[in-house]
Copies of this chain bind each other. A is one copy, B any other.
Amino acid sequence: MSRQRLLVIGGDAGGMSAAAQARRIRGEDELEVVVLEQGEDTSFSACGIPYWVGGLVGGRGDLVARTPEEHRRRGIQVHTGTRAEAVDLDACRVTAADGRTFDYDHLLIATGGRPTRPPIEGLDAPGVFGVHRLDDGERIRAAIDALPSDRPGRAVVLGGGYIGLEMAEVLQHRGLSVDVVLADPLPMGLLDADMGERVCAAMRGMGMGVHTDQAVREVLRDADGRACGVRTDQGTYDADLVVLGLGMGPEARLAEAAGLGIGVTGGIDVDATMRSRTHENVFAAGDCVQTYHHLTGEPAHVALGTHANKQGRVAGSVIAGRPARFAGVLGTALTKVGDLEIGRTGLCTTQAETAGFDFRTDVVEGTTRAGYYPGAEEIAVKLITESGSGRLLGGQVLGGQGAGKRVDVLATAIWGRMTAEELSESDLSYAPPFSPTYDVVAVAARVVSRAERG
């Protein structure tokens, strides 16, 4: 076989995982691996930006898992500052913004996610910040440093998903007063309402303003054209900074313009090998793709570095000739706001309804440690379970330190198609510093299985 070229568009998690995996399997004499990255960084942790802004992480470099130079030393040709402008699927050629062209045998598109930006007047004003790339973090940090010193700074965060919550937390941590403005009735829309209410109460308990069910009409600007507040259908909120946490869709414009098939979620339509369903030498990975739900098989879009890494590795394997499949997602998510840890996995009530399941929901409260052990904190577990079969469909966990990671037990049980009864019988660990005699996850499962037996 003559030497082939894998061309990768996008040098973050999905793209670099694919590049590295293909390189691991095929030597440079067999496969040339070329990456086009529009920015200056590769393999960076966008998820770490809030904590960098919050001063918990030392520097920008800490968020870069592997630099372009490190990739190059591993035999991957990385072109930073090189934005792919067009893909010619027939000619197998990509044209960059600077006019250079790159031919390929295999193409991997990893253009990532696109932060949701509704058509609101003033959203492009200086002082309005996304939380997407490391430069965004740099800009927010600079804006905080430039705040007037004669009064506390004020921030408005638009959106109550996990980026919104994390930014609200770190901005407060940096001394700003924070208002979170949501179009939804509650923060964390992937939780059921009863659990979302607890999150909302915790945020208010931290002293944040949480303004729900409000449609943003305008970002207000001062005489210099700089953002100075947000006007909604119900009020006006002053701001030195406006931060966007309105969610993330797939960035599939380049793929779509080239004529690649796009799925119902707006992501690039790929099969479980990450291969385009319409063009067999084109693959895609990461936040730009449409993936599928492990439980239902339904199309899904979840922007998360973990999936991007796995998908990239699958694509890289397949391109290099080794079989691999991506097994789908459960929508597991974990975050925190203040001392409240928030985890969810599988189907929430709305998703279970949409998927047509006959199901029940149960909420159980407990403590994170033995009740008598110092630092025992409240924890609530909600389970969504298929009626009749008792099969676990989804779970949500809220509580103090140690609560959040318990969602992994639920994710594992759901992944393994276990029933609530099986989970209740399973041998989960017990020691006073870590849980009561029965971990609350097992208690919740027992409550379900007892109810299911009638």
Contact = CB atoms under 8 A, between A and B. Distances in A.
A429 B411 contact: yes
Interface stretch (A140-148, A253-261, A434-442): A434-442
Interface size class of A (residues with CB under 8 A): 35 or more
Given A411-B429, A412-B412, A431-B336, A45 B306 contact: no
B412 A423 contact: yes
A418 interface: yes
Contact of A413 (B48, B56, B330, B412): B412
A334 B62 contact: no
A149 interface: no
A294 interface: yes
B426 A411 contact: yes
A432 B334 CA distance: 9
Contacts of A332: 427-430
Contact of A372 (B48, B333, B370): B48
B415 A415 contact: no
A421 to B, nearest CB: 9
Contact of A428 (B327, B408, B417): B408
Given A58-B372, A372-B63, A304 B411 contact: no
B335 A431 contact: yes
A327 B333 CA distance: 31
Interface in A163-218: none
A405 interface: yes
A373 interface: yes
A430 B373 contact: no
A305 B426 CA distance: 14
Nearest to A49: B432
A271 interface: no
B437 A373 contact: no
A427 to B, nearest CB: 4
Interface in A36-65: 45, 47-48, 51, 56-58, 62-63
Contacts of A329: 427
B345 A430 contact: no
Contacts of A47: 370, 430-432, 437
Nearest to A372: B62
Interface string A344-371: 0100000000000000000000000011
A45 B370 contact: yes
A129 interface: no
Contacts of A56: 373-374
Interface string A262-285: 000000000000000000000000
Interface of A: 13, 45, 47-48, 51, 56-58, 62-63, 162, 294, 304-307, 309-310, 326-336, 341, 343, 345, 370-374, 402, 404-409, 411-413, 415-418, 422-423, 425-435, 437-439, 441
19 contacts: A47-B430, A47-B437, A48-B370, A57-B373, A63-B372, A305-B437, A310-B425, A328-B427, A332-B427, A332-B430, A334-B429, A334-B430, A335-B431, A404-B431, A404-B434, A412-B412, A412-B423, A412-B428, A415-B423
Ranked 8 nearest A-B pairs via Cβ: A416-B416, A334-B429, A330-B427, A415-B426, A62-B372, A327-B425, A332-B427, A412-B412
Given A47-B432, A408-B441, 11 more contacts: A45-B370, A51-B372, A305-B437, A306-B430, A309-B438, A333-B429, A334-B434, A336-B431, A343-B429, A409-B412, A412-B423
